[in-house]
Amino acid sequence: MATSTSVDSRETVTSAAPQPVDSVVAQERHSESFQGEKKPLQFWLVFLAVCLTVFLSALDVTSVGTALPTIIAALRGTDYIWVGTAYALSSTAFLPASGSLSDIFGRRPIMLGAVVMFAAGSAVCGAANTMNMLIVGRSIQGVGGGGILALTEIIVADIVSLRERGKYIGIIGAVWAIASVLGPLIGGALASSGNWRWLFYLNLPLSAISFTLVFFFLRLKTPQGNLRSKLRRMDWTGNFIIAGSTTAILIALAWGGVVYSWSSWHVLVPLLVGFVGMGIFGIFEWLLAGETAIVPIRLMNNWTSVSGYFTTMVHGAIVTLVTYYLPSYFQGVKGANAIISGLELFGTALTIAPCAIVTGIWTEKTGKYVIQNVLAWVFIIVGEGVYTTVDARSSIVKAIALQVVPAVGFGMLYAATTFATLAPLRVEDNARALGFFTFARQFGQTIGVTIGTTILQNSLKTKLPASFLSQFSSGVEISYSIIPSIKFLPEPLRSQVKDAYAKSTKNIWVANIILGGIGLLLALLMRDVALRVETDENWDLSSAQRVAVGDEGEGEKKKSGGGEDVEAGIGEKTARSATAPTPATS
């Protein structure tokens, strides 16, 4: 007689015949042996290559952000927002295609291409003698940096099952955090000594090492077929729509309240075009694109994955608001130079890594991830709320120490959102799912930059003394342009400007509280789904010794002993199976 069971006591599932006790015990023992399996040398060499590329990308992002006021002053520029937005815009526009590109052409060629683009962009930035040249270089860098981040996620998913991925996600998070600590120090030191160009030139030898490691050790399958057949499998229409829509939205956000008023047609038209384009992209992908779709509808057929994508986007926005605008607080209000402002971000940087690692291990041990996501948002909301008490008269100790509480949440989410997004999906969809996942995070980061600049710019216009504000022409981004001049102001004007700057940055932390509330509501939509212990045999390390992927790029994943434990689609109340998947034998 069939019995009705449930998945983690969360959802009702379809009836299924109970398994014999001996079979269940055997599956559990098999899973334990899989988890404890010793990794071969090739695995660690591939993982080292992945970690180095992550370090390379993170070091650039964090070091350049700290040094931007110095760089802009050296190039006599005023358009700070485009230096950050150009990088984020180009990487964001490329990211949705990264998953399908890696499926069609293979992981290694796309990763190598991303490293080359990143190095080329770095060379252009290092040689820049105008702001326009710097922005072009950052755009090229962005394509490479976006590819690096997406392929990192995809490759780790290829070689490590979701159930045992926790510690590896934690390690990558630690690598990112270490780079985040070193980046502001390196950026500050080089900027303060007038050698800011070496921020970009240092990427060249690191890129060469990364390229070599990926070339020699990342030996996964290369799909068969000639160039023409592979190009036919690309979703060119979908790529064009999403890239154009993303660009339109980000341009509108960059202009809004800074170059043009929010009611100006210069802002409203591209904003409207962008969001309409996003809707058209969704319709096209889910109804017309078929098997070539960048984002197949099956990636969005459950609330848990949808929540994972959106919480990742909100998380990206909040972290960017903190890492970009805390240094500006320390420089504008506390008079710190680039090096010191980097050191004063340690409360955030040193907290994220251990929290990511602990969360990854916690998830791996328990197989649960919802509670981690919910707790992370609680830490962020409370922490950002407490941080609104920091003002112009607060001590440096207070400003550093209070960073820890929200940073706990930041670190937890770096691990937890990945599990929520992937758990309900098939392993064959890893590449496309993670390409879109990374797009969501990068899109959120880009929105974070533009939100922060808009808030700071508009707040300063209302709070700065009129006599000081009149020195700057209309359209100038005063949020960063005024920082170098503050220390030379006479009293009481200097104190008035610092107080205005502190109150303006406080509005950014208030925005983070609102975003945190949105993230918490989204996290409450998640459900715990059993974490898979199998990998896709099209792309795991053992695939390098098997026949190449066929021209269609399809193959079977390692078979599980039980059914597919996948969360039900949106609005449904049943799961597809009551049996957790079991790993295939090696």
What is the spatial distance between Cα 517 and Cα 250, in angstroms, rounded to a whole number?
23
Residue 550 in any domain: the answer is no
The end-to-end CA distance of the chain, in Å, is 34
pLDDT of residue 84: 64
Number of domains observed in the structure of the chain = 1
What is the spatial distance between Cα 323 and Cα 325, in angstroms, rounded to a whole number?
6
- Asked if 301 and 492 count as a contact pair (C-beta separation under 8 A), the reply is no
**Which residues in 480-505 are b (16+ Cβ under 10 Å) and which e?**
bbbbeebeebeeeebebbbbbbbbbb
Place of tokens 């922490």: 383
pLDDT of residue 288: 82
- Summarize the chain as % helix, strand, coil (round to 5): 70, 0, 30
- Asked if 560 and 585 count as a contact pair (C-beta separation under 8 A), the reply is no
Residue 166 structure tokens: 């926790």
- Asked if 183 and 342 count as a contact pair (C-beta separation under 8 A), the reply is yes
Residue 35 in any domain: the answer is no
What is the spatial distance between Cα 321 and Cα 516, in angstroms, rounded to a whole number?
12
pLDDT of residue 258: 66
Bridge-based pairing of strands 574-575 and 11-13 is: parallel
Is the model's pTM score more than 0.95?
A: no
7 beta partners: 11
Q: Rounded to 5 degrees, what angle do the CA atoms 442, 320, 417 make?
A: 55
What is the spatial distance between Cα 63 and Cα 68, in angstroms, rounded to a whole number?
9
Residue 172 in any domain: the answer is yes
- Asked if 55 and 152 count as a contact pair (C-beta separation under 8 A), the reply is no
Listed in sequence order, the residues at least 6 apart from 37 whose beta carbon sits closer than 8 Å to its beta carbon are 586
What is the spatial distance between Cα 225 and Cα 227, in angstroms, rounded to a whole number?
7
Q: What is the pLDDT along the chain (586 residues), one digit of tens a residue?
A: 433 333 333 333 333 333 333 333 333 333 333 344 677 787 888 888 888 888 888 787 777 766 777 787 788 766 666 776 778 778 877 777 787 788 888 888 888 999 999 999 999 999 988 888 888 898 898 888 888 888 888 888 888 888 888 788 778 877 877 777 677 778 777 877 778 888 889 889 888 988 888 888 877 667 777 777 777 777 888 888 888 888 888 788 777 766 777 788 888 899 999 999 988 988 888 888 777 788 888 888 899 999 999 999 999 899 888 887 888 888 888 888 767 777 787 888 788 888 888 888 898 888 899 999 999 999 999 999 999 999 888 899 999 999 999 999 998 998 889 899 988 988 888 888 888 888 888 888 878 877 888 888 888 888 888 888 777 766 556 777 788 788 888 888 888 889 989 999 999 999 999 999 999 999 999 999 888 877 766 665 655 544 344 444 444 444 333 333 443 343 333 333 333 333 333 2
Alpha carbon 353 to chain centroid, angstroms: 15
Residue 133 in any domain: the answer is yes
What is the spatial distance between Cα 164 and Cα 170, in angstroms, rounded to a whole number?
11
3-state SS class at 475 = coil
Q: Which of 312, 356, 363 is nearest to 518 (CA)?
A: 312
- Asked if 141 and 148 count as a contact pair (C-beta separation under 8 A), the reply is no
Q: Note down the domain range covering 92.
A: 41-223+236-523
pLDDT of residue 487: 83
What is the spatial distance between Cα 202 and Cα 217, in angstroms, rounded to a whole number?
23
- Asked if 92 and 244 count as a contact pair (C-beta separation under 8 A), the reply is no
Residue 564 in any domain: the answer is no
Residue 228 in any domain: the answer is no
What is the spatial distance between Cα 161 and Cα 140, in angstroms, rounded to a whole number?
33
Omega of the bond leading into 354 within 30 degrees of 0 (cis):
no
Question: DSSP character for 256?
Answer: B
Q: Rounded to 5 degrees, what angle do the CA atoms 413, 443, 249 make?
A: 150
pLDDT of residue 135: 87
**Domain CATH code at residue 470:** 1.20.1250.20
Residue 16 in any domain: the answer is no
Residue 490 in any domain: the answer is yes
